[in-house]
Amino acid sequence: MVCPECIIENFTMDITRRHLELHASHVRSKAATLATAQSQAPTAKSKPLLNCSSRRRVMFLYWGRRGAMSRFTLSLAEVAKSMDELEAIISVSRDNELFDQFVRSGTELFPISAFSTSMEAITRLDRIVALRKSLAEYLRTRSIEAVVTLMPHVWSPLVAGITKRQGIPYTVVVHDATGHIGDSTSLVNRWLLRDARRADRIVTLSRFVTDELIAKSMASERLVTLFLPNYGNPNPRRLEPTLPLRILFFGRILPYKGLLLFVTALELVRARGISIEIGVYGEGKFGRELPRLEALGAKIVNHWIPENEIDKIFASYDVLVLSHIEASQSGAAALALGSGLPVVSTPSGGLTEQVIHEFNGLIADSVTPAALAAQICRLATDPALYQRLSENLSRDGPRRSMRVFVQQLMDCCLPPHC
C-alpha cells in the first residue's frame, strides 16, 4: 500500500516545478497575443421601429462550432420557443455540431458561414463583409428589439457596431474575464472583451467574473450577474454502498483543470482503502499523469466527446470531481448537476457559486490533493449524504433552469415595451 505522506511529498515537489514551467509557457503565450483590428468609428444611431406585439423579438448569437455552448444555445432556443412573451431568433454557424438539431427545432434561424480553421478566421475577410451586410439588413427589416451574444466569437467585435448604429440594445454574456493557463483561447481574450466594452449590458454567469471585470474597469452599472443554468431536470440518485464510488473527470485536458491534483487526490483515496472506479473523458495531453491513471485502473477516453454521448457518460458515474486550480464557472458542473450528479470541487473561482457545500455537492477546504481527497472519502462512505445531495438537486432544478435564466436575461436586455 502506498504511503499517503509520500504521495503528498511527491505532489508538492512536482507541482512546484511544473507550475514554474506552466507560468513560463503562459508568459511566452501572452507575448504572442493576436493583434487586434481597429474598431470602426461610431456613427449616429437610427431609431428602430417599435414592436408592439405581445412577443418580443430577440436575436441570440452563438457562432462556435462545438462544445457545451452548443447544447446551451439549443436548450435556450427550445425554451424560448415555449415562451409566449418571447420570439427568439438564433444566429448559429452552419458548421455547428448540432446545426441539424437547430433546424429541426423549428426556431427561426439566422445561420452564418464562419470558418473551420484558425487560419480562415483571419483570411476569409469576404465572409466577414458578407456577414456584416446580411446581418445589418436582417436587423433593419425584422423589427429586432435586442441582440444578445451568448459567448463572444472572434468575429463578434467586427459586427457589434451594426446593432449600435441601428439603435438596438446589445448585450454580451462574458464567461471569462481573464484567460486560463494552457487554454489557447486565452490568447484572444483581450480582443473578445472589446465586444463587452461596446455593449449596452454585460451579463456574467458568476459574481467571481463580475468582480474581475470591475477590476478591469468595466462599468459596474452595465454589469448584471446571472447564473449558468443546469442542463436537465434530474431525478434523485442513490449510492449503492457495496459498490465502488464511480468518479468522473470530464472535459478538455488543460493545465488549469488540475489533472495532476485529481490523480494525486485519487491515489490518496485509494491508499485509504476506499473502493473507487475512475473515468476520464476529454481531449488533450495527459503527460506524466497517464501511467498514474492507468495504475489506478482508470477508463480513459482521450478524444473530443460528441454531444450524443454525453448523457450516457454522466449516467454511468456517481460523482463529478472538479480539480481546477482556477475557474470562472464550469460547463461540466452544469451537466452533472442537471443529471442529478453531485459534484466534489476545489474552492476555485466561481465554482463555489455553482457547487454549494453540503447542498448539491462538497467543496474542498483548499486547492490541495489532501483536501479534495477528504471530501471524496466523505461522499464514498456516507450514502445518506449522497442521497441528500441528489435529492436537493432534484428539488433545486427549477430554480436553476434554462427557463429562469432566459426570463432573467430578457429582463435585463430588453427595452421597456411600448
User: In whole angstroms, what is the distance from residue 353 CA to residue 348 CA?
Assistant: 10
Question: For 105-156, what is each residue's pLDDT tens digit?
Answer: 999 999 988 766 556 655 666 778 888 899 999 998 988 999 999 998 888 8
Question: For 358-375, what is each residue's pLDDT tens digit?
Answer: 999 999 999 999 999 999
pLDDT at 255: 93
- What is the residue whose three cell numbers read 450577474? 225
Beta bridge partners of 357: 361
Q: Using CB atoms within 10 A of its CB, is residue 84 exposed (0-12), middle (13-18) or buried (19+)?
A: exposed
Domains annotated for the chain, with CATH where assigned, are 56-229+401-413 (3.40.50.2000), 232-399 (3.40.50.2000)
| Residue 26 neighbours by CB under 8 Å, 6+ apart | 181, 182
pLDDT at 366: 97
Size (the chain), residues: 418
Q: What type of residue sits at position 44?
A: A
Residue 293 is placed in which grid cell?
Answer: 491513471
Mean pLDDT by 10 residues, the chain (418 residues): 45 41 41 34 38 78 89 94 93 92 93 71 71 90 93 82 90 86 64 85 95 91 94 85 95 94 98 97 95 97 93 96 95 94 96 96 98 97 95 89 95 77
pLDDT at 229: 94
